[in-house]
Structure 1
Amino acid sequence: MFSSFSQTEEKLSQLPFDAIRDSIHKYKFSDRPKAIKAAEAYILKGKREKDKTEEWLGMESIALIYVRFRMYKEANEQAEKTLEFAKNNNLPKQEMRSLSFLGDLQKAVTTVDKQLFYYNKLLQLAEARNDEVYRETALNKIAAVQDFSGNTEKAINTYKKSLEYYQNKPLDSNFNQIKKNSNILSIYSSLAISHLKLNQLDSAKLYSTNIKKFKEKELDTCYAAYKYTIDAEIAYKEKRFKAARQNYEKAYAVCPSEYDLIQLNKAYALGKIVVGEKNYPEAIRILQKGLDDYQVTAVEEGFMGDYYDKLAEAYKNTGNFESASYYFEKYLSSQAEFNQLKENARESFIKKERAAFKKDFDALVSEKEKNQSNFKYLLLGGAILILALLFLLLKFYRNKKADELKFETLLAKIEAAPSPEGIIDTRDEELEEKNITEVPEETKQQILEGLKKLEKQEYFLKQECNSYNVARKIGTNTSYLSKVINNYYGKNFNTYINDLRINYTITRLKNDAIFRSYSIQSIAEEVGYKSADSFTKYFKKDTGLNPSFYIKEIKNIT
């Protein structure tokens, strides 16, 4: 580490890369000229040693320094240079990293169109290079823009696909367990935030529970903050302000930062909680200090609406109507700008879809011009397509009618059944254990009584409910258990458990409005299934209906 920046860049570049990098980190928040001088020395050293990767890292450092000091235009110009350098020197990893960085920057310097342009370029290059990590990075960034534009459901679907990718990705020298855990936790966090936007608290809590399973030592530095941030947001939504404050304080303690934007976010997080507690003077102190320390730039005004809203509310409740009016006007202005940004994002996606459609349409027209004789086949194909669509439409209505009939039949069975266990009573044609003669009569009674006891305790709703655990709780073995269930119920063990679960679900969904508001995934886990797919399969097998259709119809009659 050098002690004085009076030395020339040439002298600084004689130091090891690590030493120069330490100096960049030391000054990147506090002294821009010194930090940039160190980065330029890093570039010079990379040139001298003919190391293009290190040279690129020095160039990227300058762009990052500009971002730290909120000089977004200069950061964008430097980032474009890093992209060009990576292209010219065949550095595909660095090229993809430059595209990702440039996409992030566009939110502050240009338009959503340009942001999506860079993210889509990143996606194309990642797919061409078969780089799965950057492909997922691009998809997640595009999903974040979708979320921002108001298409949160589509963003959630993208996040879920990415989650599945990281969960199934094998470990290797470049992807260790800590990186895997950190990526999964990050996506859990995105999913939780998206569900909070949709006011789907039960789903957000589900992902929060998954996040808590990770220990801090199992994650990259700072990722542990997600564990507390999501809990803080959930607590805030539920007006548990003390818990919200404690979790936010833990989040910022886990990952302290000198970055002024982080300090502004912290002021907003704590300030809005104090507003919720109606401690308005303290809220003003926190929020005003955060704003005064940060000094919002013009390009950031569109993202400050929530902050100004809370500050206006705090001033209004202290009787300072002049300041309240001032910040309320700033809130309205910020909100209008933010809504325009959202609309621009939405239009960008529509524009992309239109462009894709036009491309396909133009290809058809071009093909027609090349070979006019094929026109009749296109007409024929169009007619077939229309007929196919009509057929699918007819099939849809027939299926809908059939489902409505199945629902009415199921409803009648519910009303007629003396108890929930009698609604669905599946019988298996092929039984695993037919011979019951070897089971002592006393043991048979013990098993039957034990099963009834476990049914009353609703043990079948637990995911751990399998033949081994049931046999152990009753005090018998799995063979005897299977024989008795086969003989007395006419079904195998799995069918017996599934019938209990589906009957419980049918009845509870009919009687419990809150349970009906759960997501299918949450319902599945509540009744003992590990996945929504598994639950849906058994529900449809037993009732002939998808659970979503059953829930919709129940809502219509209650």
Structure 2
Amino acid sequence: MLYISLLMMVVGIQYAPAQESKRDKIEEYIVKGKKLYYEEKYEKSIEYFNKTIKIARKLQDSSLISILTTSIGHAYVMNDQNQKALDAYYTSLELAKSTNNVGEEMNANSGLVLVYKKTKQYEKALQVSRQMLKSINNSTFRDTKYHVNIIATGSEVYLDTEKYDSVLHYVEQGIAISKSLDYKEGLVDLYIKKGMVFYHQEQYEEALTYLFKAEELLQQHEIKNKFYPTVNSAYFVASCYYKQSLYDRAIERLLGNIDAADQDDLFKLPVLQSHLLLANCYAEKEEYKNALYWNNAYAQLNEAFHNRKDKTVDKIYQNEAQVLEEGIAQLQQQQAQSERIKAYAYGIAIFLFALLLLGVFVYVKKQRANAKTFNQLITKIDILEAKEKEMQTKDSNTREIVIDDDKVAHVIKGLTKLESQEFYLRSDCNLRSVAKKVKTNATYLSKIINMHEQKNFNEYINDLRIDYALKRLKNDRKFRSFSIKSIATEIGYKSDYSFAKHFKSKTGLNPSYYIKNIEKHEKTLESMI
């Protein structure tokens, strides 16, 4: 993460005109404050910045006071004193505006973004990030390292809010500027962010390309504060391997992360999360002893992490943890059950009986909810099929498409044609192949789909596939007899896991439940005839 370098960029560069002794004292305090900050001694760092502010007030140097107040805000952020940080940033912003110091205004705003992220106020963080990214294009800081750092901070917010097209847009700008400046720290951070975007879009080979680029720079160049980007990149490389079922490669990367960490580094999120991903990798390999060992190690560290005053809040890692914890939950239950049976046979029997009753209650409740969802889904499909038949009886020439841009209209017409040809069912259906079919580029196609479908490309294709599966399963008895894996392959998915995940996300039901109840529904209708 580049915001560490962004925090102190201006401090120590600008000084108010003053007597030589006061100038020397200002420089001495700032150097000590910065040193203590990087040593993570934040309270002491704040003391020295406050001493410097007293001198700056005597010199009536508002610009220097603004810079130092922002630095104090950064120290409060790192010490998890969010309200004090906000107060410092607001004070700094007022001073920066009064002195027309655009650079310091953006520096203070970057701090506000960090506080909003830590306190999960993502919309506010997004609003400030947009303002910063817009303002810097009209400032003297454009195309500088400072510009790259602002882009990196803003991109983190877009990552948190899953606005991946915006991340890619700004990251490409930042990469271009970093290359022109030979700014290796900027390139490393932005390559990792680009890799993370492709990881979350399930384009794992593309993700690995950029993560490897970041690792190559980390290995070949002297880069400040390189531990975090190194373990962060390694974690997402391992995550890609995990998704590709390359568990041994993932395990090697994750063990490397943990071995490289000292006691304090264990609480950095990529290292902490490496324990949980390791447990999942071993579980997939059915090495349950190792899986339980690493899951227990993660649970202990995670509890200690949440008790820490200065714990970091990161939405991306929170989401990853939730997915991985669900994956290991069943293994934990098996371990707990086994241990209790060995030690407390009679007690566990009572517990299991009570659990059975609870399970029956939950099952019945869930079955009722699933039945309600299923009936609503069938009604929805019936309505959609009726509308499709109605549309087929009308002359397609009577339909108007009110679109001013001929190129957009051409692309939409091409998409409609591909839909009618069921191109989305092909396993090689992706953004590039569809763009080629409709004779445009991937970026333009992505924007058109976002604009006219109100969803990204992956959501668009998944919705088409799931809608197709719902209707065909309802009407094609032979198709219902296929295995889940065969159905997934038939409609373009590379794995039954991916199909089941998207099916449940869209319908709220598992494919197997839907198929089973379609059979019952069909028999009920036949008995009524």
Question: How high is the TM-score relative to the length of structure 1?
Answer: 0.50
2:29 corresponds to which residue? 59
Assess, with a 3 A threshold, how the Cα gap between structure 1 residues 199 and 75 changes in structure 2: closer, same or farther.
same
What letter corresponds to residue 212 of structure 2 in structure 1? Q
Displacement of 1:144 after TM fit? 2.5
1:328 corresponds to which residue? 299
The one of 259, 272, 292 aligned to 1:308: 272
What letter corresponds to residue 91 of structure 2 in structure 1? K
Residue-pair matches, total: 347
The one of 185, 210, 215 aligned to 1:249: 215
Contact 2:185–2:224 at 8 Å: present in 1 too?
no
The one of 220, 223, 231 aligned to 1:267: 231
SS at match of 2:137: helix
Contact 1:226–1:251 at 8 Å: present in 2 too?
no
1:516-545 CA-to-partner distances (Å, cap 9, x unmatched) read 9xxxxxxx997969999xx98xx9xxxxxx
The one of 167, 187, 203 aligned to 1:224: 187
1:159-210 CA-to-partner distances (Å, cap 9, x unmatched) read 12221111233xxxxx36542xx44433433343333323443443333333
Assess, with a 3 A threshold, how the Cα gap between structure 1 residues 150 and 176 changes in structure 2: closer, same or farther.
closer
- Could you tell me how far apart the structure 1 residues matched to 2:71 and 2:397 are? 61
The one of 98, 101, 117 aligned to 2:71: 101
SS at match of 1:168: coil
The unaligned stretches of length 5 or more in structure 1 are 1-38, 40-45, 170-174, 344-411, 427-493, 517-523, 540-545
SS at match of 1:423: coil
- Could you tell me how far apart the structure 2 residues matched to 1:59 and 1:339 are? 25
1:408-419 → structure 2 map (5 Å cutoff): 418=396
SS at match of 1:222: helix
Displacement of 1:61 after TM fit? 0.9
1:42-72 CA-to-partner distances (Å, cap 9, x unmatched) read xxxx9983462x5423211111222333333
Displacement of 1:424 after TM fit? 3.2
SS at match of 2:185: coil
1:455 corresponds to which residue? none
What letter corresponds to residue 192 of structure 1 in structure 2? S
- Could you tell me how far apart the structure 2 residues matched to 1:284 and 1:498 are? 46
- Could you tell me how far apart the structure 2 residues matched to 1:529 and 1:168 are? 29
Bigger Rg, structure 1 or 2: 1
1:137 corresponds to which residue? 107
1:123 corresponds to which residue? 93
The one of 143, 148, 157 aligned to 1:194: 157
Q: Which moved more, 1:85-94 or 1:155-164?
A: 85-94
1:480 corresponds to which residue? none
Contact 2:235–2:270 at 8 Å: present in 1 too?
no
Aligned-pair identity in percent equals 11
2:83 corresponds to which residue? 113
- Could you tell me how far apart the structure 1 residues matched to 2:224 and 2:151 are? 26
1:278 corresponds to which residue? 247
1:424 corresponds to which residue? 401
The one of 87, 91, 94 aligned to 2:61: 91
What letter corresponds to residue 213 of structure 2 in structure 1? N
2:148 corresponds to which residue? 185
1:78 aligns with 2:56: no
Contact 2:63–2:96 at 8 Å: present in 1 too?
no
Displacement of 1:281 after TM fit? 5.5
Assess, with a 3 A threshold, how the Cα gap between structure 1 residues 507 and 199 changes in structure 2: closer, same or farther.
farther
1:363 corresponds to which residue? none
SS at match of 1:232: helix
1:311-346 CA-to-partner distances (Å, cap 9, x unmatched) read 254367374445642332111332465898769xxx
1:446-499 CA-to-partner distances (Å, cap 9, x unmatched) read xxxxxxxxxxxxxxxxxxxxxxxxxxxxxxxxxxxxxxxxxxxxxxxx765676
Contact 2:167–2:194 at 8 Å: present in 1 too?
no
Contact 1:508–1:515 at 8 Å: present in 2 too?
no
Q: Which moved more, 1:190-199 or 1:109-118?
A: 190-199
Contact 1:287–1:311 at 8 Å: present in 2 too?
no
Assess, with a 3 A threshold, how the Cα gap between structure 1 residues 331 and 167 changes in structure 2: closer, same or farther.
same
What letter corresponds to residue 222 of structure 2 in structure 1? P
The unaligned stretches of length 5 or more in structure 2 are 1-11, 315-389, 432-439, 468-529
- Could you tell me how far apart the structure 1 residues matched to 2:123 and 2:253 are? 34
1:487 corresponds to which residue? none
- Could you tell me how far apart the structure 2 residues matched to 1:108 and 1:205 are? 28
Displacement of 1:417 after TM fit? 6.2
- Could you tell me how far apart the structure 2 residues matched to 1:327 and 1:230 are? 25
SS at match of 2:169: helix
Assess, with a 3 A threshold, how the Cα gap between structure 1 residues 236 and 227 changes in structure 2: closer, same or farther.
same
- Could you tell me how far apart the structure 2 residues matched to 1:336 and 1:242 are? 34
| Structure 1 stretches of at least 4 aligned residues deviating more than 6 Å after TM superposition | 338-341, 412-415, 501-516, 524-527, 529-532
Displacement of 1:284 after TM fit? 5.2
- Could you tell me how far apart the structure 1 residues matched to 2:80 and 2:405 are? 59
Assess, with a 3 A threshold, how the Cα gap between structure 1 residues 197 and 310 changes in structure 2: closer, same or farther.
same
1:161 aligns with 2:131: yes
Assess, with a 3 A threshold, how the Cα gap between structure 1 residues 502 and 339 changes in structure 2: closer, same or farther.
farther
Contact 1:122–1:135 at 8 Å: present in 2 too?
yes
1:32-71 → structure 2 map (5 Å cutoff): 49-50=20-21, 52=23, 54-71=24-41
SS at match of 1:106: helix
- Could you tell me how far apart the structure 1 residues matched to 2:311 and 2:211 are? 32
2:317 corresponds to which residue? none
What letter corresponds to residue 418 of structure 1 in structure 2? S
Displacement of 1:95 after TM fit? 1.5
Assess, with a 3 A threshold, how the Cα gap between structure 1 residues 495 and 242 changes in structure 2: closer, same or farther.
closer
Assess, with a 3 A threshold, how the Cα gap between structure 1 residues 258 and 214 changes in structure 2: closer, same or farther.
closer
Displacement of 1:413 after TM fit? 9.9
